[in-house]
Amino acid sequence: MASLMTSDSQVKLAARAVKDVYPVSRLVREVRLMLDGSFPLLWVEGEISNLAMPASGHIYFTLKDSAAQVRCAMFRGRNQQLRFTPENGMQVLLRVKVTLYEGRGEFQLVVEHMEEAGSGALQRAYEALKARLGQEGLFDTAHKKPLPALPQTIGIVSSPDGAAVHDILHVLKRRFPAIKVILYPVAVQGETAPRQIANAIQTADQRQECDLLIVGRGGGSLEDLWSFNDELVARALFACQIPTISAVGHEIDYTIADFVADVRAPTPSAAAELAVPEARQLALNLRGLLQNLGSRIQQKLANEQRHIRYLSQRLPRPQQQLKLQQQQLKRLQTQLDYSIQRQLQGKQQQLDYLSVRLPHPQLRISWRQTRLQDLTQRFEKAFSVQQQQFRLQSQNLNDRLKRLLPASRLKQQQQLVEALSSQLNRLVRQQITDHKKQLAQLRRTLSVVSPLNTLERGYSITSDAQTGNVIYRSDEVTIGQSLQIRLFEGQLDCEVRRKK
């Protein structure tokens, strides 16, 4: 009996060795791997039920429809991006990954993204239009136009009653009060809003009355912002020749208009800051340029004056040269007199020697007289020749002295100085002319942004007569209130009798 039982056990063990027996954990893991590899990320729509939001930050719920249900989990790293709070009974659109929870062997969906079902359809339409327009090249940076550095007129396409317009006007007034603004009023939501926005953009483009166009509205839901996801608006922005700024919603909101416009601003206020520079900073820059210009002119004049002094020092002084030549002439004259005197002394000594050697006084006298006459003649001849040589030498010296006189050289140097002075004056005048042109251009630029130019075109500034506050709307005044109206020339004191 024992032998038979042993034999049965061995058969069972052999049969078990032949079969591949799965532990539960292995089976569940391989099923999970199979599910993970079989399904990509999917969009699933249904109703939330059994919602649980524990302190861990994860969200657990059941997604169901009329025929089936499935467990869902959305982990903390994903649900922090939610723009709404999930509730039981809410219809939602989920982007999910199909998987299996091994701990309980339950089929479940891991949620990567959740949105309300109503906006889900809009989101899919948004993604489809974005992909199609992107393929057509409407978003390419090659088509983006640069914003003007200092626009004179800014157009605004938005609702006249919305907060966006007031935010833009407030920032423009603070940064650059002289800027001219043209409002193209449109509806920013509703069925007719896309057509109105597109028509307003086309109208501004045809009139060419503004240098920059801001298109936008305040924040809201996806449905509220949907007018700026319309293809009509996108194509109108793309065709517009005026540089455009899209300022739709808040910083986290992105619309098709943001991708098509030349520049996207996170908010309407930021669009106004991108549109114009700050007038105070421009004035500071202009003041710095003027100071730099004055410094450069002074430095240039100082350099030229130093150069003139250097040239004048290098020129020889005529009086000094003439004095040197006169001194040399006197020295040569002294040498000539000394040489003649020495020769006369030598001849006199020779005459005395010969007179001593006379054998007889009478003979010596006669001979001396003859000799004296001969020597006198020879001396006179020699003296005449010597004198002639000295005259020639003196004439040569005079000729050399004339050649060495600085008159001609001084004349050449004077001509050179005159040419350099003329060139210096021409360069200084040219430099001053160029700087005057730059200064005139800067003045014209400053004049463009001056409030007086706005008044000169027929505008006026109305303010309260007592407080001096500027009046912007008729609802800021009362009947009988005293006002002051500032014109381009003069001022009017008025009283409110009627307002509209």
184-202: per-residue pLDDT in tens? 999 998 889 999 999 999 9
Q: What is the pLDDT of residue 1?
A: 45
Of the options 3.20.20.70, 3.40.50.2300, 3.30.56.10, 3.20.20.140, the CATH number for the domain spanning 145-277:
3.40.50.2300
pLDDT mean across residues, the chain: 82
How distant is the alpha carbon of residue 211 from its chain centre?
19
Q: What percentage of the chain has pLDDT greater than the value 90? A: 25
Q: pLDDT category, 364, cuts 50, 70, 90? A: low
Model confidence at 402: pLDDT above 70: no
Strands 482-486 and 491-495, bridge-based pairing:
antiparallel
Assign residue 467 a region (left: φ > 0; alpha: ψ between -120 and 50; beta: otherwise): alpha
CA dihedral of residues 235, 239, 245, 246 (deg, nearest 10): 0
Residue type, 322: L
Q: pLDDT of 202-236, one tens digit each?
A: 999 999 999 999 999 988 777 788 889 999 999 99
Q: What is the pLDDT of residue 203?
A: 94
Model confidence at 18: pLDDT above 70: no
**Mean predicted confidence (pLDDT) in 407-424:** 78
Q: What is the pLDDT of residue 5?
A: 47
Contacts of 179 (CB under 8 A, 6+ apart): 151, 152, 153, 154, 172, 276, 449
**H helical segments located in 263-317:** 268-275, 279-314
| Residue 326 phi, psi dihedral angles, 5° rounding | -65, -40
Q: pLDDT category, 362, cuts 50, 70, 90? A: low
**Mean predicted confidence (pLDDT) in 21-37:** 84
Range 17-123 classified under CATH 2.60.40.10? no
Q: Are the CB atoms for 256 and 233 separated by under 8 Å?
A: yes
**Mean predicted confidence (pLDDT) in 79-97:** 86
More confident residue, 487 or 455: 487
The pTM (predicted TM-score) of the whole model is 0.42
**Mean predicted confidence (pLDDT) in 436-462:** 78
- Taken as a whole, the chain contains a residue count of 500
Q: pLDDT of 240-268, one tens digit each?
A: 999 999 999 887 878 999 999 999 999 99
Q: Are the CB atoms for 41 and 98 separated by under 8 Å?
A: no
Model confidence at 456: pLDDT above 70: yes
Model confidence at 17: pLDDT above 60: no
Q: What is the pLDDT of residue 444?
A: 77
More confident residue, 199 or 400: 199
Residue type, 423: Q
Model confidence at 2: pLDDT above 80: no
Q: What is the pLDDT of residue 62?
A: 95
Q: Are the CB atoms for 246 and 216 separated by under 8 Å?
A: yes
SS3 180: strand
Q: What is the pLDDT of residue 50?
A: 94
CA atoms of 156 and 242, how far apart (whole Å): 12
Model confidence at 11: pLDDT above 70: no
Q: pLDDT category, 336, cuts 50, 70, 90? A: confident
The radius of gyration of the chain from alpha carbons, rounded to an integer in Å, stands at 55
- In 3D space, the residue among 272, 204, 208 whose CA is nearest the CA of residue 236 turns out to be 204
Q: pLDDT category, 36, cuts 50, 70, 90? A: confident
- Vertex 365: Cα angle to 360 and 366 (nearest 5): 100
Model confidence at 93: pLDDT above 70: yes
* From 62-71, 363-372, 455-464, the region with the lowest mean pLDDT: 363-372
Model confidence at 297: pLDDT above 80: yes
Q: What is the pLDDT of residue 355?
A: 61
Model confidence at 3: pLDDT above 50: no
Query: For the chain, how many helices (H) and strands (E)?
Result: 14, 13
Model confidence at 491: pLDDT above 70: yes
CA atoms of 303 and 164, how far apart (whole Å): 57
**Mean predicted confidence (pLDDT) in 447-476:** 80
Strands 59-64 and 42-52, bridge-based pairing:
antiparallel
SS3 14: helix
Give the containing element (helix H, strand E) for 483.
strand 482-486
More confident residue, 34 or 324: 34
**HSE value, Cβ hemisphere, 13 Å, CA-based, for 433:** 6
Q: What is the pLDDT of residue 386?
A: 75
